[in-house]
A and B are shown apart, each in its own frame.
Chain A
Amino acid sequence: MSPVSARPSAVSSRIARTADALAQAGAVAEADLRKLRHDPWEPVMRMVQPALWLLIFGQVLARTRGIPTGGVSYVAFLAPGILAQRVLFVAIFYGVSLIWERDLGIVNKYLVSPAPRAALVLGRALASGVRGISQAAVVYVLAAWLGVPVRWTVGAVAGVVLMVMLGAAVFSTFSLIVACIVKTRERFMGIGQVLTMPLFFASDAIYPVALMPGWLQGVAACNPLTYQVDALRSLVVGNVPGSSGLALDFGIQVAALALLTGVATRLYPRIVD
């Protein structure tokens, strides 16, 4: 075959491989989401936490009127933060399912298949993203019920869905990396607990970054959660003074996801060692 004709075929085979990998990632996600369908109580149980934060923490703190929220009520300020928090908490423990499935021998099945490792990692991120959306629905309903002026435009809701999926993908892939390193459920749960609260408090989920001491502001600036909250706040209630802007918010998630996926792809096969 001459080099001239070889070129387009190389391109088309690359396209075919990418299409295969995406379909394979879809299959991994589908397996996970079908389980959710068999166990519909899981999302219901997960409604309790955001309800407590918004109904109790939000209502009480709103009375102090000590937190500058840029012209919106504290509950309106808090709702997107709690949405991001729920996505974080669900995603950060996602890696434990990999350890669980490794112990059952299910991960072996994926690893002996011809699917690229990156597709296996992205499939799990995708499933985590869809799980995150159920959290978003809960927070939206609660927020609307509490009188938060939620923006219902198509653009805003689509933006929220996209950011929730990206946020869940970022933290679930991070969680996958932790799982591949620590390898046992006990150690993983310990580390998960240690990671979540600092990530949560070093973000603008429940108070603006401007209120933090300088060193903590530095940490918050490196925390993807800060940018998730920023984007969600702009999209859900609008009007965020000092916003970093949606372009930066989304850009940081995409960059973080690309970096984490690269690392997770390398570490993934080690889970069965």
Chain B
Amino acid sequence: MNEPAIALRALTRRFGSLVAVDRVDLSIGAGAIFGLRGTNGAGKTTVMKMLATLLAPTSGTALVAGYDILHQPVDVRRHIGYVSQMLSADGELSGRENLLVPAKLYRIPRSERARRMREALHFMDLEGVADRLVRHYSGGMVRRLEIAQAMLHRPPVLFLDEPTVGLDPAARHGVWQRIRQLRDENGTTILMTTHDMDEAETLCEELAFMHLGTLVAQGTPAGLKARQGSGATLDDVFIALTGASIREREDFRNVARVRKTFSRIE
């Protein structure tokens, strides 16, 4: 069997007395588009931050692209791209400058730099606005730019935290199309979190549901629906798995951050 691109082993993170992620085991095959769904505060973002080496696990570990997040964090960083939930491209810089900074940070050789930046702008359909300040971009353009930033060094693994939150349908489809194309052309393994049923259904080949820090179900969208009964939607599955015991774990800071992302899009 092929080595999984991402393998979580009893990955756990506590914040004080709160167990945000509780002994999660999960394997994600190379080249998959894998979706993580769950209630707010279920631990999706925490999982992703640990895999991206932004947050240290309390216990357990994970392998990303074959490297251990605890013992080989720099190797992990070399082999991943990460796009956070927030619209994080730098609004005070142009699109091109937003690519130049990571190109230098990842030490892409000077001879390659211009070509890769040009290709990325072309791929994301941002050539016409490359020299405009990003604060004048639409939400969809910012997201495409951010994915381009995260892919500039051609990582085999890409983490996307709610990549289409707050985007209009056309912009959403634009982002989906690019994500699919990235995987098809480069074999990139993509792990994404999502709240959106459409996104989970049309984009993700496999899904895992998280609830209160644990993994409660895993499978293909079709398989998960079939388990719930005929005519069931993924939202039905979601509610069946989590609805009965929804506890609000979202804190003020979290809500404020999501709202801020929205206000930057609009």
CB of B60 closer than 8 Å to a CB of A = no
* Partner of A105 from B78, B85, B102 at Cβ < 8 Å: B85
CB of A111 closer than 8 Å to a CB of B = yes
Kindly provide the distance from the CB of B243 to the nearest chain A CB, expressed in whole angstroms.
30
Kindly provide the distance from the CB of B148 to the nearest chain A CB, expressed in whole angstroms.
12
* Partner of B54 from A101, A112, A115 at Cβ < 8 Å: A112
In the complex, given contacts A38-B133, A113-B102, what are 12 additional A-B residue pairs having Cβ atoms less than 8 angstroms apart?
A30-B104, A31-B93, A34-B93, A34-B97, A35-B90, A38-B93, A104-B90, A105-B86, A109-B88, A112-B80, A114-B74, A273-B55
A254-273: CB near B (< 8 Å → 1, else 0) gives 00000000000000010011
Task: Number of B interface residues at 8 Å Cβ cutoff, please give it.
Answer: 32
| B interface with A by C-beta (< 8 Å) | 49, 52-55, 74, 77-78, 80-82, 84-88, 90-93, 97, 100-102, 104-107, 133, 149, 257, 260
A27 touches B104 (CB 8 A): yes
Which of A27, A103, A108, A113 neighbours the largest number of chain B CB atoms within 10 Å of its CB?
A113
| A interface with B by C-beta (< 8 Å) | 20, 23-24, 26-28, 30-31, 34-35, 38-39, 101, 103-106, 108-116, 269, 272-273
Q: Is the interface of A mostly helix, strand, loop or mixed?
A: helix
- 18 interchain pairs, CB-CB under 8 A: A30-B101, A30-B104, A31-B101, A35-B92, A39-B92, A104-B86, A104-B88, A104-B90, A105-B84, A105-B85, A108-B52, A108-B88, A111-B54, A112-B80, A113-B105, A114-B74, A114-B78, A115-B105
- Chain A residue contacts of B88, Cβ below 8 A: 104-106, 108-109
- Chain A residue contacts of B104, Cβ below 8 A: 23-24, 26-27, 30
* Partner of B77 from A23, A104, A112 at Cβ < 8 Å: A112
CA of A24 to CA of B153, assembled, Å: 14
Nearest residue, chain B, Cβ from A39 = B92
Kindly provide the distance from the CB of A39 to the nearest chain B CB, expressed in whole angstroms.
7
- Chain B residue contacts of A35, Cβ below 8 A: 90, 92-93
* Partner of B106 from A103, A104, A113, A272 at Cβ < 8 Å: A113
CA of A38 to CA of B90, assembled, Å: 12
Listed from nearest, the 8 A-B pairs whose CB atoms lie closest are A105-B88, A105-B86, A27-B104, A35-B92, A112-B82, A105-B84, A114-B77, A31-B101
CA of A227 to CA of B244, assembled, Å: 66
CA of A103 to CA of B49, assembled, Å: 15
- Chain B residue contacts of A30, Cβ below 8 A: 100-101, 104
CA of A106 to CA of B87, assembled, Å: 9
- Chain B residue contacts of A272, Cβ below 8 A: 49, 54-55
Nearest residue, chain A, Cβ from B93 = A34
- Chain A residue contacts of B84, Cβ below 8 A: 105, 108-109
CA of A30 to CA of B107, assembled, Å: 14
